[in-house]
């Protein structure tokens, strides 16, 4: 999907949020915002938000001199998620339909706020989210496709969420190729983050070659693109990957939360909807 | 109060909202956003949001060629508010403390969403807002000051809200000078809007000389500034006027809703709080 003009102020919001992660110096933050602001008029809004986001995060990295401002947070989130792993595993294994529960857990991983501190609060938050219905729920087709597929391409989104992905991967009991970003961008998972989540025990980890906060095929490596085009089943996590891949054809299943008005409008669902499409 | 960096993306959001009012042509809207984006780096963020907002709206007017994009909406809102006048008048007159009810009605005028269509819905919304407590409530001091003051300076905010102001002015039973903006900016009331709300029957209407979306003394006319400095009691409506006047000394009473995180943080109240300060 292409970007909307609503994304225009939002890119500055994201820049502000990210800049604040690596400095509290208002002048430095203002400098980064200024650089992003003057770059936006040159941006082609026919591009996907993921492509524009890539430019925005490139500017931030360049101006701040820090390539991965989320590095520390990604570690903390992964550790928190790992601490929840036994609880989630039990939840899935004792469920009437463990695969469906694992799908929902994977969506929860896209939603949960690791900023909340205590493990107890996280468990409570997970339970609340698990009680929300999927506003679009193509689970039946997901299940059927999974039964037929001999290998699944699983496109990751955020670090921390990776642990929730691992639980779904383990439940699918089929060979999985887990696809991460080539370089750090926002809180998206790279090789290191996937390994920290223990994904290597359950799947093969590869990079899509992308350094955008979403999977845009034209930016991917030839190797990944070939894999994508031949795939029997593709699971795409999160909004950024949806933005990049919603226009592509293929055995695609999107697991995401509609986190902004633009996506909610595009999909004609209420803001905040949990979706399996 | 000075602007925060959070205001930076927000100015682009406001520009987007305003641009969409006078055109649906995405190219024209993008052009306006581009002009605002390249202007923001030149902005001194030690200024108040009202001063920066003034620049932003100046760019929009210049690029769109439309001086008052809210003109039609302001008329519609005022008409809707006038239709509510008898209902609100009765609500105040039958209240145990009509002055306090009128104060709360005036705050409701700053909060209500005239985008809602039917009169019935508006009455319901008003009732809901009237049931919310004032998170800061200096009504006692307001009442005492009002008893002593021989004349009140009442600084207006939005069109439509003007009708709610009129109800408070009528309840105060003291001479009131009602202060509007010099030129149209956003949905702020100018002379014409105050007259359409029937304010002329209850107060003298003057302009502050300001064309910013908030009262900034350095931008006001000498005549208004003198009036302000000599005033025995000043009522300031809304967030924009608070932003401009919160640093000033004087017998000031602010009636507003904390509509954004920046103001809420500044005042140490929850977002959305109704306030009489």
- Give me the percent of chain B exceeding a pLDDT of 70: 99
Q: Give yes or no for B59 touching A (CB within 8 A).
A: no
Q: Which residues of A touch B30 (CB under 8 A)?
A: 5, 8, 45
**pLDDT at A116 (0 to 100):** 64
Q: Give yes or no for A37 touching B (CB within 8 A).
A: yes
Interface A-B: count of C-beta contacts within 8 A: 54
Q: Which residues of B touch A41 (CB under 8 A)?
A: 33-34, 37-38
CATH code, domain with B122: 3.40.50.10880
The mean pLDDT of chain A is 94
Strand partners, A267: none
Q: Which phi and psi angles does B154 have, rounded to 5°?
A: -120, 110
Residue of A243, A253, A247, A224 lying closest to A50 (CA atoms) = A243
Q: Give yes or no for B40 touching A (CB within 8 A).
A: yes
pLDDT digits (tens, 9 = 90+) for A88-131: 999 999 999 999 999 999 999 999 877 766 677 888 899 999 99
Q: Give yes or no for A229 touching B (CB within 8 A).
A: no
Dist. CA A149–CA A175, nearest whole Å = 9
Strand partners, B255: B237, B276
Q: Is residue B38 part of a domain?
A: yes
Q: Among the listed ranges A15-24, A104-113, B118-127, B210-219, which one has the minimum average pLDDT value? A: B118-127
Q: Which residues of A touch B38 (CB under 8 A)?
A: 37-38, 41
Residues B121 and B161 in one domain: yes
pLDDT digits (tens, 9 = 90+) for B22-72: 789 999 999 999 999 999 999 888 899 999 999 999 999 999 888 888 899
pLDDT digits (tens, 9 = 90+) for A144-184: 999 999 999 999 999 999 999 999 999 999 999 999 999 99
Q: Per the CB < 8 Å rule, is A9 touching B10?
A: yes
Minimal Cβ distance to A16: which of B9, B26, B45: B9
**pLDDT at A112 (0 to 100):** 85
Q: Per the CB < 8 Å rule, is A37 touching B41?
A: yes
Which site among A2, A3, A5, A28 would you substitute to test the B interface, given the most B Cβ atoms closer than 10 Å to its Cβ?
A5
The tokens of B157 are what? Answer: 């905010």
DSSP B104: H
Looking at the 3D structure of chain B, how many domains does it have? Answer: 2
Residues B77 and B31 in one domain: no
Q: Per the CB < 8 Å rule, is B12 touching A16?
A: no
Q: Any residues with CB less than 8 A from the CB of B17 and at least 6 apart, and which?
A: none
- Strand, coil or helix: B22: helix
Residues B88 and B37 in one domain: no
Q: Which phi and psi angles does B184 have, rounded to 5°?
A: -65, 135
Please say whether the beta carbons of A215 and A245 come within 8 A.
yes
Q: Is residue A226 part of a domain?
A: yes
Q: Is residue A42 part of a domain?
A: yes
Minimal Cβ distance to A9: which of B12, B26, B41: B12
Residues B140 and B173 in one domain: yes
Look at residues B43, B64, B85 and tell me which one is the last residue of a structural domain: B64
Q: Any residues with CB less than 8 A from the CB of B53 and at least 6 apart, and which?
A: B11, B14, B185, B186, B212, B213, B214, B240
**pLDDT at B57 (0 to 100):** 92
Residues A257 and A122 in one domain: yes
Produce one character per residue of B7-20: b if its CB has 16 or more CB atoms within 10 Å, e if not.
bbbbbbbbbbebbb
pLDDT at A21 over 70: yes
**pLDDT at A67 (0 to 100):** 84
Residue A75 CB: number of other CB atoms within 10 A? 15
* pTM, 2 dp: 0.87
Please say whether the beta carbons of A274 and A129 come within 8 A.
yes
Q: Give yes or no for B41 touching A (CB within 8 A).
A: yes
Query: How many residues comprise chain A?
Result: 277
Q: Give yes or no for B226 touching A (CB within 8 A).
A: no
Q: Chain B: nearest CA to A5, how far in angstroms?
A: 7
Q: Which helix (H) or strand (E) holds A256?
A: strand A252-257
Residues A78 and A154 in one domain: yes
Q: Can you list the positions of beta strands (E) in A113-215?
A: 134-137, 152-155, 176-180, 204-207
Q: Chain B: nearest CA to A13, how far in angstroms?
A: 6
Q: Which residues of A touch B16 (CB under 8 A)?
A: 5-6, 8-9
- For residue B136, what pLDDT band results from cuts at 50, 70 and 90? very high
Nearest CA in chain B to A26: B5
pLDDT digits (tens, 9 = 90+) for A212-240: 999 999 999 999 999 999 999 999 999 99
Classify burial at B108, counting beta carbons within 10 Å of its beta carbon; exposed 0-12, middle 13-18, buried 19 or more.
buried
CATH code, domain with A27: 1.10.8
Q: Which helix (H) or strand (E) holds B204?
A: strand B204-207
Q: What is the DSSP string of B221-261?
A: -HHHHHHHHH-S-EEEEHHHHHHHHTT--SSEEEEEE--SH
Q: Is residue A134 part of a domain?
A: yes
Q: Is residue A2 part of a domain?
A: no
Residues A104 and A192 in one domain: yes
Dist. CA B198–CA B222, nearest whole Å = 27
**pLDDT at B150 (0 to 100):** 97
Residues B97 and B220 in one domain: yes
Q: What angle do CA B158, B161, B163 make, to 5 degrees?
A: 130
- Give me the percent of chain A exceeding a pLDDT of 70: 99
Minimal Cβ distance to B33: which of A5, A30, A34: A5
**pLDDT at B68 (0 to 100):** 87
Supply the range of the domain harboring residue A145: 71-276
pLDDT at B259 over 90: yes
Q: Which phi and psi angles does B68 have, rounded to 5°?
A: -135, 75
Q: Per the CB < 8 Å rule, is A34 touching B45?
A: no
Q: Give yes or no for A60 touching B (CB within 8 A).
A: no
* Side-by-side strand order, sheet with A252-257: A134-137, A274-276, A252-257, A234-237, A152-155, A176-180, A204-207
Please say whether the beta carbons of A115 and A153 come within 8 A.
no
Q: Per the CB < 8 Å rule, is A38 touching B33?
A: no
Minimal Cβ distance to A16: which of B8, B34, B38: B8
pLDDT average, residue stretch B74-97: 96
Residues A54 and A129 in one domain: no
Residues B36 and B129 in one domain: no
**pLDDT at B45 (0 to 100):** 84
Q: Given the structure tokens 């550790």, which residue do they identify?
A: A79
pLDDT at B169 over 90: yes
Q: Per the CB < 8 Å rule, is A9 touching B6?
A: no
Dist. CA B10–CA B1, nearest whole Å = 16
Q: Is residue B1 part of a domain?
A: no
pLDDT average, residue stretch B192-221: 96
Dist. CA A82–CA A199, nearest whole Å = 11
Q: Is residue A1 part of a domain?
A: no
Q: Per the CB < 8 Å rule, is B5 touching A13?
A: no
Residues B53 and B127 in one domain: no
Q: How far is CA A212 from CA A98, A249, B264, in A?
A: 33, 20, 34
Please say whether the beta carbons of B59 and B38 come within 8 A.
no
The mean pLDDT of chain B is 94
Q: Is residue B112 part of a domain?
A: yes
Residues A150 and A104 in one domain: yes
Q: Give yes or no for A261 touching B (CB within 8 A).
A: no
């Amino acid at each position: 999907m292409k970007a909307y003009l609503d994304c225009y102020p939002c890119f500055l919001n994201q820049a502000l949020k990210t800049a604040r992660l690596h400095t509290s110096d208002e002048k430095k933050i203002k400098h980064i915002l200024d650089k992003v602001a003057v770059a936006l008029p040159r941006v082609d809004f026919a591009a996907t938000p993921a492509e524009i986001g890539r430019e925005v995060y490139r500017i931030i990295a360049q101006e701040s001199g820090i390539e991965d401002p989320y590095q520390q947070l990604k570690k903390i989130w992964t550790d928190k998620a790992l601490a929840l792993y036994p609880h989630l595993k039990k939840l899935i294994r004792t469920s009437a339909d463990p695969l469906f529960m694992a799908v929902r857990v994977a969506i929860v991983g896209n939603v949960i706020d690791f900023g909340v501190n205590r493990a107890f609060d996280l468990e409570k938050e997970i339970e609340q989210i698990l009680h929300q219905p999927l506003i679009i729920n193509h689970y039946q087709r997901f299940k059927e496709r999974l039964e037929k597929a001999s290998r699944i391409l699983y496109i990751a989104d955020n670090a921390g969420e990776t642990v929730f992905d691992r639980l779904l991967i383990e439940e699918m009991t089929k060979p999985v190729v887990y696809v991460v970003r080539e370089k750090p961008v926002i809180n998206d998972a790279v090789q290191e983050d996937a390994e920290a989540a223990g994904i290597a025990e359950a799947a093969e980890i590869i990079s899509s070659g992308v350094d955008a906060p979403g999977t845009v095929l034209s930016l991917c490596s030839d190797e990944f693109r070939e894999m994508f085009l031949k795939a029997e089943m593709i699971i795409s996590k999160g909004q950024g990957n949806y933005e990049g891949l919603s226009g592509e054809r293929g055995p695609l299943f999107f697991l995401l939360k509609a986190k902004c008005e633009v996506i909610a409008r595009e999909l004609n669902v209420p803001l905040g909807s949990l979706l399996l499409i």
